Amino acid sequence: MSRTHWTWLTVAGLGMALGAVSGCENGQSREAGRQVGKAARDVREGAREAAEDVKSASEQAAEGFKEGMGGSGSSPDAGTPDASGHR
């Protein structure tokens, strides 16, 4: 949820910068264009970080699922040997 907060602020900043571009002189429009470019790079970097976080979380979830498939500790008959004589 906290990651979406910066996204909305960035989108709002992009909108303001685009609005500023429409009514500027040549030098001012270049500066506004730079600001829009910087904001776009920030959004791209934030999206990349969010994708890495999602990938990491999914890998951890998959690993947890694999561990869970093996059992969750001792089974009810953990004290009794199985047919091969192992516990």
Handedness of CA 47, 50, 52, 54 (dihedral sign): negative
Distances (CA, A) of 15 to 9, 36, 57: 10, 9, 32
d(CA 23, CA 18): 9
Closest alpha carbon to 18 in 34, 2, 5: 34
- Given this model, what pLDDT does residue 29 score? 83
* Spans of the chain below 70 pLDDT: 1-12, 14-25, 70-87
pTM: 0.45
Residue with tokens 């999914």: 58
